[in-house]
Structure 1
Amino acid sequence: MKKEVLRFQKYSKHEVVEVSDKDHTFLLIRWMLFGFIFLVSSTLSFGVDQVDAEEFSKIKTPEGQIYVMRNFQSSREVLDSYFPILSKRGNNKAIFFWYYAKDRNIMLYPNSFQEGKRNLKIMTDFAKKHDLEIEFQITEYLNTVTLRANNKIDIQQHYSKFLDILESMRKIGFNHFIDFDLEILMYNFGLLFYEIGDYEKALLALKEGEKNKVTSIKSIYQTLNLNLIENIYSIQKDYDKSIAYAQKIYELNKGFNPKLDPTDWRSVFWQGFSTLSIAEYKLRQGKFQQAENLAIKGYEIINLNQNYEELQQLWAEFEAIQLLLQIKLKLNKLLDAESLVKRTEEIVKKLKIKADNEDFRLIKYYNNLSDYYEKKGNFQKSLSYLKNARKLEILKEVQNDKRNLWRIEMRVKAEDYQTNLARIEDERKQQNMLTYVVIVVFVLGFVVAFLSYRRISSKNKTIDLQKNDLQKNLLEKENLLKEIHHRVKNNLQIISVIFDKQARLATDEQTKKLMREGQDRVFSIALVHENLYQSENLTTIRMRTYLEMLTQNIENSHKNEHQAIELSLDVDDSILEIDTAIPLGLILNELITNCYKYAFKNRTLGKIQICFHKKENEFVLTVKDNGIGLSDDFDVSKTKTLGMNLIRGLVRQISGKLDFSTDNQGTVFSVIV
């Protein structure tokens, strides 16, 4: 129970999770896959009485028999007694499910290790022999997990195989896999994709698990699925969705334990933890008052749980206090903060935390104390704690960098592995085709009377083959081009992350601003590639979608609680070539950024209007603000700032024209292409 709490904390805090290649036995993995739900939940309620062979024989439909076996909780002898009945009925799907039920309950059998291997081979052969498409994918999944558990395949092969299985399941329809513990399968898919960093596939799997959750039992996998989805959206900084999924976790576990009975420690833990998560997301959104109320509530719930060991309870309270303390400091509630600091110091003494401790959970603690003592005027102490925080942040960033590089390497290797498999399959097809051609030529030599007919037929076949080859080559090139755009987008996102890290490490605001501006410029380019690989046309881009996403990012980047800048967008459905769209995106990024930086100095309100329309044979991009305007001696052709130099260069690149007008009512810039 206590180990499970640590596991939940590990994943929920977004800490780096190192992938281990330590050997796990086949038996342990089988039990983890199909028995974990029995081990971790003492309140399971299946709603199905266990039946003996006589009662089982009275069940007329395969669906009814599968339902009983799906919820089987009896002895090996009872399970074995079902098999002759199923064999006599002769329904292959029900027979296969018996083997599956045996696999789930393999611990009931003597020599479980050998019996499990033998049973899995029988399942695989049975699914192939009887052409059971759904069941075959289940055996593919089980065989992949078994091979990985015994180090017969590496992580990229595991990832590649899971991609293939998930795609096959998608084509068949996930709803056809309900009887095979689909919620648990999707969690295991999602967990691997999450660790690899393939968040798109992880969300696909986890949301299918959410959609097809087990409603008849109090399943921990419902919470685990929701928690991973929440974490992914948090990594992507989509805090509204993170909050929505944290709220789902809270409501789910509240339904299990509405009165917060401390004996049901798991539901209490998740109610408290999800409440604190929502508070943290509200803090990141700048909604400090809401965050404070939620953090107080989460702190109270966490302290209700008495089932931890003292050390774990102290750490849980420690982390809850750090969030609440951070919020109190944001609200300048120093009296409240003082009591929290004192409680933290008491916990630190009990935890026996040393100055050289490298636990990343201390980062927030050191930052909070630095902010607290700065507000109290004790700058020496503030600086000391700030140094401790920076030291741990650097260590964590190095570790995360290694993790990100590992993720990229694993995904590239997996792609290479799939490419090699495809190449081998193509070579096999070519060999078969060559054999076929040789046979045809040999037969033609003996059928002289039909030579003319054969010749015409051969030409027609050749034309069809060439047409198919051309279509195939075209499709391959399109896929390759999409992949190039995808990888370029990913690489640009990595650069964007580097800018973000540099900005966070920078000590002066000017450097931070430069890094953020660089990050926005990279994003405007990456956004084009993202739109391209998601669209059918790989050379043009729809400007409405592109500019909406671009301006949203810029607005989020410059939003602050001291100014309310309204940004409006009026864009038609024009479609532009990529060579024009990228420079226009960069120009727009610079113009809007300049508006935020200079147009509304000493003002709390403002408006920025962006228009993009096609007029006759020209495209016109206009950015208008109602700010303070430019100085009378402003000359767009002589200004030496990086932003204006970039704008002029980009306008020349697309053979466009740059105009502007300004007065005390605001400034208008127009780019005509």
Structure 2
Amino acid sequence: MGRYVRLLFTAIFFLFLCNASAQSILDDEQSVLKEFQDANMPANRFEVFFNSINRYNINSPYDWLDTIKIYRTNAEKTNDTNAIRLYLVMEAQLYNDLGEFDKSTAVARELYELKDTLDMESRNRVLNVLDNNYANLQLYDKQIEIRQEKRELGITDNVAFYDIYSNLGLYTEAWQQFAKEVRPTIADNDSYTLAKYHSKLGNFLRLDDSAPTALRELNKAKGYLNIYNNDISIQKSEDDIFEAELLEAKIDGGIAKCHVVMGELEEAIPLLEKSIEVLKASPHNNDQKEVVENTLFLAEANLKMDKNIAAKRILDTEFNNVSILQTIKKNSLLAIYYDKIENYQNATSYYKRNERIKDSLEAKQSNIIKQQLVTIVANEDLINKERLLDQKNRDMEMIMSDMKAKEERSNLVFVSLIFTLMGFAGLVYAYLKSIKNQRLIAEQKYIIENALIEKDSLLKEIHHRVKNNLQMVSSLLSLQTKNTRSKAAIEALEEGKSRVKAMALIHQKLYQNDDLSVIEMQGYIESLINSVQSVYKKGGHNISITIDAEGTELDIDRAIPFGLILNELVSNSFKYAFPENDENGKIYIHLRKNGDQGYFEYTDNGVGLPEDTDERSNSSMGIRLMNRLVNQLQSKLNIEKQTEGVRFWFNFS
């Protein structure tokens, strides 16, 4: 008896230590946000926010946004204008990190109008955010204005255009101008800056279809970075070490992408996986774009090596802020995958999606060309600004001299010149008025488009928060399960957890969709079944499941009842349909909606329903729940007992 008591106390002590250790680790991981909240002045919080190595490792940008908005509201109550501006700078950066560039621009523009009242650090942050926002919004003329402002403030020595050329797809011009303008400014012993230079040059060359040359530049970058890392004479802070790790990950990713282009797939895959893992920890928006790019190349490499399952798993990764070109590439890779597994219907679907996107891009092509012209003109104007001003002054002096000479020679010529200038002034006035009207129309269109984008962003944020709240409920149910000994209670809690997950998936799919009004049911059902399988870990993994719902889309009012009905049916199949062996188990799910009429069918080949099913239906919570959910869809649940298994079906509108 004493031996068992000692064992019991040992187990309790071990659990206590594990819990304390886990809590300690969690506290350490949350130290960035905690340090921010513990700072006693807005200026100190500003410093913690911008100087933190990785502020999003534990807390998402939404958590930071909620916290900063609370502090800003308190500052507004006390009319602390300096604190309000500091919090607005942080909000602009947060919206930029979230990829909500319109919101970020709106906040930053409000601060930009007050730039003379900002300290140099805040003004620098605002200009950098606007620079990045305008690049992502393809407003290159405004981006150039911001860079001119930075040069006048002494933040930068010159105005660079190579990244704008790259964004426009003019990669040859980008790397040539980059090499010409940047290399002469770097000292030969500055190994870290040289590593960044060769890394960026290699990336431009790869985009310019020069993969072998790009690979040489990237290997140079890695060599310089190794020199920097091994140089013990250079004092490196935690920030310096973290930034060096991010740079190495970007270089590895660039080398791997060159290998993929050159068909050297075995060398590419480990480098891509390593690069993705490191860059995920970066708080920078551009690094997260690089994660998406590297993930697509990793999927491409797996497809080329016929590792189709691995490629599909990679392509199923969900990302925010995926660019149009990345979406096109992802659709192409999915089409190739479905071609390889001979699912030509899905392959055709993804090819059609790309055609629609490309048609949309072609419709915007003329606007892009105009933007390129504006950028090039602005570029030439900036480079030759002083020379043109001097030339203009000399020309004006010559014109005045000629006018004087002509005036002395002939009054008639003078009068003619006056009328010519008046006519020219009239033309200039009419031209300027036309430009002003065009700008007013463009600004009104921009405001309307921003309002629509903000509405979509708000809806996505709502669905995201609902999903998070439902996941919290699921976590609470899991916690309660661990503290419950009753088998019946555990089963009931697990069933409730499964139902909550089914609803959470609906909201997850909504905020991930471009179209917030409907849910694509094929993907949702696949995700739901994976979620149910994770609950019933000992069953259901050998069952062959066929889902026939491709192309079917439902609104949220129908999708939630469907999700809960399907959750009940699949859970019951996993628990009861195959009590002995599920090796030959089969489940078939069919969902179609044509116009106003829809049809749902679910069958399995298990042991079927017991003889007293009709009597049990009045006491079974699952069947009662399904009946009520089907009633919500204005239909009636039909149950058909078969020789092998059972069939559920109903029509709906």
Question: TM-score under structure 2 normalisation?
Answer: 0.38
Q: Which has the higher contact order (CA 8 A, sep 6+)?
A: 1
